[in-house]
C-alpha cells in the first residue's frame, strides 16, 4: 500500500459512518467487545478502549489508527471480520461482488436468504416491540448491512453503502495484490 492510498483509506475510515463501516454487527457494547477480542488476538493491548468511560467512535478510530495504522486495521480487523462473518455463507460475498460489478442491486428476497440466523434474543426483541427509526441506524444487524442499504419498512434494497465500494474497488484489490506478492 503506497502512502497516498494509506492516507485516503484513513480518511475514509475517519469519516465513515457507521464505525468501522459497520462490519462488526451489534450495538456499541457488542462492537467494543468484538474489537477488544480482535486486539487481544493480535497481541495488542485493549485497555485503551476502556480508558474512557464512554469512548466515542471517533476516539476509538483515532486510537486504532495511531496504534495499528490503517493497513493493519483493514487487514487484521476489517478483513478478518468480513471473512469470518461470511464464512458460514458460501458464495454470499461473491454474489454481492457480481451484483456490484454488474451495476445491479440484489433482490430483497435473496438478501433475506443470505442473512445470518437471528438469535432468540433478537427475535424476542422484534416480537415485543417495533424498532425505532433512530435505533435502526445506530447498529448493524448483519454483515450484509455493511454492504447494502435496505428499506425494512417496504422490504427493498435501496442501494449500496460506501463500504461496498471501498471493499470491492479498494480493499479486495489490495488484498489480492498482497497475496500475489507473497506467492512470488
What pLDDT, in 10s, does the model give residues 31-53? Answer: 998 999 999 998 988 765 655 56
For residues 180 and 120, the model is more confident at 180
pLDDT value of position 53: 67
* Share above pLDDT 90 across residues of the chain, in percent, rounded to a whole number: 52
Q: Does 119 have pLDDT greater than 80? A: no
Yes or no: say if 99 and 105 are a contact pair by the CB < 8 Å rule.
Answer: yes
CA quadruple 157, 158, 163, 168: dihedral, nearest 10: 60
Q: What is the pTM of this model?
A: 0.82
Amino acid at each position: 500500500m503506497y502512502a497516498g492510498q494509506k492516507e485516503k483509506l484513513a480518511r475514509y475510515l475517519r469519516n465513515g459512518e457507521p464505525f468501522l463501516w459497520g462490519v462488526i454487527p451489534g450495538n456499541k457494547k457488542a462492537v467494543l467487545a468484538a474489537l477488544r477480542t480482535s486486539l487481544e488476538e493480535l497481541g495488542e493491548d485493549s485497555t485503551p478502549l476502556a480508558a474512557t468511560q464512554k469512548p466515542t467512535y471517533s476516539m476509538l478510530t483515532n486510537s486504532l489508527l495511531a496504534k495499528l495504522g490503517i493497513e493493519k486495521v483493514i487487514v487484521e480487523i476489517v478483513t478478518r471480520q468480513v471473512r469470518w462473518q461470511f464464512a458460514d455463507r458460501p458464495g454470499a460475498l461473491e454474489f454481492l461482488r457480481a451484483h456490484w460489478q454488474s451495476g445491479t442491486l440484489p433482490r430483497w428476497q435473496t438478501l433475506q436468504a443470505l442473512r445470518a440466523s437471528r438469535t432468540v434474543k433478537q427475535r424476542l426483541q422484534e416480537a415485543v416491540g417495533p424498532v425505532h427509526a433512530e435505533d435502526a441506524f445506530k447498529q448493524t444487524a448483519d454483515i450484509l448491512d455493511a454492504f447494502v442499504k435496505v428499506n425494512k419498512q417496504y422490504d427493498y434494497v435501496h442501494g449500496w453503502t460506501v463500504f461496498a465500494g471501498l471493499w470491492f474497488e479498494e480493499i479486495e484489490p489490495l488484498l489480492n495484490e498482497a497475496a500475489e506478492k507473497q506467492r512470488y
